[in-house]
Structure 1
Amino acid sequence: MATDPRRKRQALLRRMVREAKKQAAPEGPHYLEQYCVLVLTGKLIACQKIKLLCAMLLDKIRHPEKYTPYVFDLEEANRHITFVETFCRQPQGRLGEPIRLELFQKARWQAIFGFVHQATGLRQYKECMIVEGRKNGKTTEIAAMEIDLLVNDGEGAPEIYNIATKREQAGKAFEACCNMRQQSPELAGAIRKRQSDLYFAPNMGFIRVLASSTNSLDGLNAHGILIDELAAIKNRQIYDDMKQSQSARQQPLLFSISTNGFVREGIFDAQYEYAAGVLDGSIDDDTFLPWIYELDKREEYPKEKYWIKSNPGIDTIKSREFLRQMVKKAKHDQSFLPTVLVKDFNLKENAQSAWLTWAECSNPATFDIAFDYCIGGFDASESIDLTAATALCMRLGDPHIYRRSMYWIPQAVLDLDAASGNRRERDSLAYSQYVKRGLMRAVPGNKIDKQVILDWFCELRDEGLYTLYIGYDPWHVDDSLLARFKGEFGERCMIPVRQGTYSLSQPMKDLKADLGAGHVVDNNNPIDKICLLNTEVKSDINGNIQPVKSNDPRRRIDGTVALICAYKVLQDKMDDYIRLNKEAPIND
């Protein structure tokens, strides 16, 4: 039986820790090896993901025979660092001073540029993802990387693009490039500032700004793509298109630096999960280099010794005293705490107004179990909104609640986005991808016929899963639809769930506890998670709660409402559900 790749990666970490303690890094410009040894021996506190990466990189340096055809070329690795520290100047703050990369920056630059194919000399790593706390020098580093790729990478007519969610954000790094050029006599003489770009005549290359709202990317031939604040980009299409634009280049580089953010289930989360897979060995991609600086546990944030885990530039680039002030404020201001946890420590959190934390919304567990009975719930839209339905199942002696969901969207909504060339689908979510994956269905026309909900529960019945009761908001259900449901599932099947604190407060509090305990298993459905993340609460003077939408109409909560309706009915009808399960044992 093949060894689990995650176990192999953990074994490699343990072995390289032992080796690092026995064999110190050599003196001189072996920055990557020095950094890896410091991390693995515990002299430099680092998170688990950085330890895994350092173990792999140190093994590649010291045991190159295992990683053919790639080798580590120290001279090539340092050529790029030397260029930056010789010609680039600080674009802000200490204007004009030479840039001096910190050890952690030199280590990752050596990793990016130092591993090359032993026959062709071409770079191994085509993409580098960096996640670090804010104010660790990312804008300056991006600008230096852009100029290096333009002038010093040996590429003919290199096209270098700076990308962010808005042109203004992308323009910050571009402005830093312009300032860096202006502060350096050598660069100012070699690089020409044109109206829309920086142009290097000797190789006919340029640096240019792109925003994620750009519609047409045809004809681009990118050599370098620099993404500032990946977590703020809500639609992954520009990432996918720009990545494809590098296909004609021999050694392109896509370089992204970002803090974590509050936009969930977007390109950042997808890339983060991909990076985590590369690090733990579950994903095999030897061209992707992830540097993920983060706290390992939420409880670490008040302890200063752990701050370096997510802030590698603390004390040299980022002010420790300023971070102290932020943490102190967060301890006394719970509405500010999520911002500090996300932006300074790269933890996944929701805004304070949210009903649930990120951890409560996230359960990666999956199931493949056949059930006989379920309790249903749905939230029917008025016209063009989403419609959601869910089915909850339980097993005797098992505290878990197993959830299946379906969502519907009008086909006209998807068609309108496609016809207009809108790069951001409705609500900035990948609805068309969810339809392809079978998590959502597109309904012909421009509004949703509520009959689709009944049809779905009938499909479950045809599979052998019979719906005993269905919770629903009576505000959105007319007598005709109600009669059709009763005709299919019996006169007593439909249970109205009034939307207010009296009906929903206690079920919501109990559901929150079950979600926090990991008892609700939804096969890691991204739409379920998004709806939970979007849900906010309104409280009365007695602390009773009910769900509410945020002021942002794009933040859909339809799946949450369907879940709450089903959960309340499950609580109220638990005795019936258990009795039927005893009479007809559930199939595994």
Structure 2
Amino acid sequence: MTNNHAIIYAEQVTKKQIPAPKYVVKQCKEFLNIAKGKNKKYVLDEKKIEFIEKVLNILIMPKGLRAGQPLSKCLAGFQWLLIIAVLATVHKDNPKKRRYETAVLEIARKEGKTLLVGVIFILLFLLEPKFSKFYSVAPDGALSREVKDAIENIIKSSPALNGLYNNKQKFKILRDSIKFSIKESEYKPLAYSNNRLDGKLPNVFLADEVGALPNNSAIESMRSGQLTILNKLGFIISTKYPSTSNPMEDEVEYAKKILDGSIKNDSVFALLYEPDSKKTWATNDTIIKHANPLALEIPAIMQDLKQKRQQAIEQPSRRENFLCKHLNIIHQSTAESYVSIDDLKKCQVSSINWQGREVFVGLDLSMSGDNTAVTFLSFDEYGDLLIMPMCFIPAGRIEEKSKFEKVDYKQFIEAGQVIACGDSVINYGDIEQYILSIENQYNVKINSIGYDRYNAISTANKLQSEGLECVEIKQHSSVLHAPIKLLSELISNHKVKFVCNDLYIENFLNARCVYDTNMNKYLNKKKSAGKIDMVMATVNALYLAQQAELERQQAGWSVQI
């Protein structure tokens, strides 16, 4: 196999001549294994690579510092790798069948992804069968049209793509589509919609800025339309977004598991430009290099990023945008952030055995139209804190809350992590029944139930009448400092376990800390970035667990005396 730009880039990455994050290194190793003929199932199609290179020699860079030059001389190494790997990796026993059906690109802003997508679509116009359909999907029409603009600009700048072929205009650029007359194929940009994307039959689709999509319905609609396509292909592309609860995070986590070898799926190719280290962003240039592969080839971009980093250091108001958009780091927006989300994610488990445990229940009951949470927890024999959170929302406001809060509540309801009850307001009776069912459902014994007096007196009285001990917990830093501090420490030391729950993680991501005059830590709902009900319910339950432990210790001392 002769060297090409993709192979050269992959070799430089694996030899650490080009700084790259670990998952990019893993993907490059996999690519080189195929390129060097060491893979039993897959090979690179040299004829297709030769065709791609010839096409890129006649496509012209439409704008920027290298405007007017052949695109073959303008593309960066990572762009070559994505193009060659995805379009030219085929099955050995069936060279007409491509290996990859999904390509995931997680990359910082202003890294040439729109140009890359435009190039890929033009290549697909030439490579795919007659009558092919191509679509791009984005959170709104303006973003989706950016892809159309990129394709259009390349076509208009490249003489070889203009003019007639067999008395037909090669490309027809219309208001809402681009048509390739030679193969009668068509590209259309689409805006996100929950229910208007079904019925499409895409040979290839692109989902752009996936991190800004409220759920994965657009992606799944596109995928479901590809069932009968031999070489189905979907590109999933985005920068990071402040929320961890979005479809891009799901795609990235799945791709990581494939690259780690914990999941077997040969059909996914992923370049995840997400820094390995995140804590030293203010001084470590490698973090910039990991998230911005184009900056390694264009010094002006690197210089601009360093200037933006300095501004983010000096102006905290710019920090979140810089970290998220330019370094692919989800940053809890201020220094008041409660816990590290990376640490919290490491506390997720697939299941918890609650059999026979004594548990403490915490409530955070809101006004009846808002989210409410119930959490129960227990320490296991190894000192790990086991947590089971549950969120309640008004059943009649699911659509409204999902749209306003940009949270896919339907997904969490289906997963059993949210209970919808009542109509426009929550039915507290359903919450009370849930609490009363905990002992039988999980085979546990409730020690006590902690609640905030606000909105919870009636519920507490009813639970007490059922024989459960209810304890009012004053919502003040002098009282809650200890459980808030302990919970943070346990998460930092990965001594917490909870079943995978993105909404729970989102609550922690929203949480903001303040300090009183005695430097006691407290979670402030008004300063938080969104809902933290599940966190506060956890804190209330942990307060009870701490108090019970203190009582046991005091009882032990009394016996000794």
Q: TM-score, normalised by structure 1?
A: 0.84
Measured after TM superposition, the shift of residue 314 of structure 1 is 1.6
Residue 508 of structure 2 aligns with which residue? 532
Give the one of 123, 132, 138 matched to 1:148: 123
Residue 216 of structure 1 aligns with which residue? 196
Letter in 2 for 1:103: G
Instruction: Determine the C-alpha separation between the residues in 1 that align with 2:172 and 2:64.
Output: 20
Residue 547 of structure 1 aligns with which residue? 524
Residue 326 of structure 1 aligns with which residue? 308
Letter in 2 for 1:76: K
Residue 270 of structure 1 aligns with which residue? 250
State whether residues 221 and 245 of structure 1, in contact with CA within 8 Å, keep that contact through their aligned partners in structure 2: yes
Letter in 2 for 1:311: N
Does 2:455 match 1:455? no
Does 2:409 match 1:409? no
Q: Does the residue aligned with 2:276 lie in a helix, a strand or coil?
A: coil
Residue 511 of structure 1 aligns with which residue? 487
Instruction: Determine the C-alpha separation between the residues in 2 that align with 1:487 and 1:507.
Output: 28
State whether residues 132 and 294 of structure 1, in contact with CA within 8 Å, keep that contact through their aligned partners in structure 2: yes
Give the one of 63, 80, 91 matched to 1:117: 91
Does 2:291 match 1:310? yes
Letter in 2 for 1:219: G
Q: Does the residue aligned with 1:210 lie in a helix, a strand or coil?
A: strand
Measured after TM superposition, the shift of residue 580 of structure 1 is 10
State whether residues 77 and 111 of structure 1, in contact with CA within 8 Å, keep that contact through their aligned partners in structure 2: no
Measured after TM superposition, the shift of residue 459 of structure 1 is 2.1
Measured after TM superposition, the shift of residue 59 of structure 1 is 1.8
Q: Does the residue aligned with 2:108 lie in a helix, a strand or coil?
A: coil
Residue 73 of structure 1 aligns with which residue? 45
Give the one of 80, 92, 97 matched to 1:106: 80
Give the one of 449, 458, 464 matched to 2:443: 464
Does 2:209 match 1:229? yes
Residue 138 of structure 2 aligns with which residue? 164
Q: Relative to structure 2, which stretch is displaced further, 535-544 or 359-368?
A: 535-544
State whether residues 222 and 242 of structure 1, in contact with CA within 8 Å, keep that contact through their aligned partners in structure 2: yes
Give the one of 14, 18, 30 matched to 1:44: 18
Change in CA separation of 1:573 and 1:106 when aligned onto 2, cut-off 3 Å: same
Q: Does the residue aligned with 1:162 lie in a helix, a strand or coil?
A: strand
Give the one of 320, 343, 352 matched to 2:325: 343
Measured after TM superposition, the shift of residue 578 of structure 1 is 6.8
Measured after TM superposition, the shift of residue 161 of structure 1 is 1.5
Does 2:9 match 1:32? no
Measured after TM superposition, the shift of residue 502 of structure 1 is 4.2
Instruction: Determine the C-alpha separation between the residues in 2 that align with 1:308 and 1:518.
Output: 29
Residue 182 of structure 1 aligns with which residue? 156
Measured after TM superposition, the shift of residue 165 of structure 1 is 1.3
Change in CA separation of 1:451 and 1:565 when aligned onto 2, cut-off 3 Å: same
Residue 13 of structure 1 aligns with which residue? none
Does 2:547 match 1:572? yes
Q: Does the residue aligned with 1:105 lie in a helix, a strand or coil?
A: helix
Instruction: Determine the C-alpha separation between the residues in 2 that align with 1:219 and 1:485.
Output: 51
Instruction: Determine the C-alpha separation between the residues in 2 that align with 1:148 and 1:446.
Output: 51
Q: Relative to structure 2, which stretch is displaced further, 521-530 or 344-353?
A: 344-353
Measured after TM superposition, the shift of residue 355 of structure 1 is 3.4
State whether residues 363 and 541 of structure 2, in contact with CA within 8 Å, keep that contact through their aligned partners in structure 1: yes
Instruction: Determine the C-alpha separation between the residues in 2 that align with 1:33 and 1:580.
Output: 69
Q: Relative to structure 2, which stretch is displaced further, 493-502 or 188-197?
A: 493-502
Instruction: Determine the C-alpha separation between the residues in 2 that align with 1:158 and 1:512.
Output: 53
State whether residues 468 and 489 of structure 1, in contact with CA within 8 Å, keep that contact through their aligned partners in structure 2: no
Instruction: Determine the C-alpha separation between the residues in 1 that align with 2:315 and 2:357.
Output: 48
Q: Does the residue aligned with 1:469 lie in a helix, a strand or coil?
A: strand
State whether residues 90 and 98 of structure 1, in contact with CA within 8 Å, keep that contact through their aligned partners in structure 2: no
Give the one of 451, 471, 477 matched to 1:495: 471
State whether residues 213 and 247 of structure 2, in contact with CA within 8 Å, keep that contact through their aligned partners in structure 1: yes
State whether residues 241 and 324 of structure 2, in contact with CA within 8 Å, keep that contact through their aligned partners in structure 1: yes
Does 2:411 match 1:433? yes
State whether residues 91 and 140 of structure 1, in contact with CA within 8 Å, keep that contact through their aligned partners in structure 2: no
Residue 485 of structure 1 aligns with which residue? 463
Measured after TM superposition, the shift of residue 539 of structure 1 is 5.2
Measured after TM superposition, the shift of residue 337 of structure 1 is 3.4
Measured after TM superposition, the shift of residue 291 of structure 1 is 0.9
Instruction: Determine the C-alpha separation between the residues in 2 that align with 1:335 and 1:541.
Output: 25
Letter in 2 for 1:47: P
Q: Which runs of 5+ in 2 are unaligned?
A: 164-169, 557-561
Instruction: Determine the C-alpha separation between the residues in 1 that align with 2:481 and 2:524.
Output: 9
Does 2:269 match 1:289? yes
For this pair of structures, how many residues does the alignment match?
541
Letter in 2 for 1:388: A
Q: TM-score, normalised by structure 2?
A: 0.88
Instruction: Determine the C-alpha separation between the residues in 1 that align with 2:437 and 2:555.
Output: 21
Instruction: Determine the C-alpha separation between the residues in 2 that align with 1:290 and 1:407.
Output: 34
Q: Does the residue aligned with 1:272 lie in a helix, a strand or coil?
A: helix
Residue 55 of structure 2 aligns with which residue? 83
Measured after TM superposition, the shift of residue 299 of structure 1 is 4.1
State whether residues 177 and 189 of structure 2, in contact with CA within 8 Å, keep that contact through their aligned partners in structure 1: yes
Instruction: Determine the C-alpha separation between the residues in 2 that align with 1:201 and 1:572.
Output: 75
Letter in 1 for 2:357: D
CA deviation vs aligned residue, 1:482-509 (integer Å, no higher than 9, x gap): 222112234xx21212334444345433
Instruction: Determine the C-alpha separation between the residues in 2 that align with 1:426 and 1:132.
Output: 27
Measured after TM superposition, the shift of residue 289 of structure 1 is 0.5
Q: Does the residue aligned with 2:23 lie in a helix, a strand or coil?
A: helix
Instruction: Determine the C-alpha separation between the residues in 2 that align with 1:548 and 1:60.
Output: 52
State whether residues 45 and 88 of structure 2, in contact with CA within 8 Å, keep that contact through their aligned partners in structure 1: yes
Letter in 1 for 2:151: C
State whether residues 467 and 489 of structure 1, in contact with CA within 8 Å, keep that contact through their aligned partners in structure 2: no
Measured after TM superposition, the shift of residue 182 of structure 1 is 2.1
Instruction: Determine the C-alpha separation between the residues in 2 that align with 1:283 and 1:399.
Output: 30
State whether residues 511 and 523 of structure 2, in contact with CA within 8 Å, keep that contact through their aligned partners in structure 1: no
Q: Which runs of 5+ in 1 are unaligned?
A: 1-25, 582-588
Change in CA separation of 1:543 and 1:209 when aligned onto 2, cut-off 3 Å: farther
Change in CA separation of 1:433 and 1:228 when aligned onto 2, cut-off 3 Å: closer
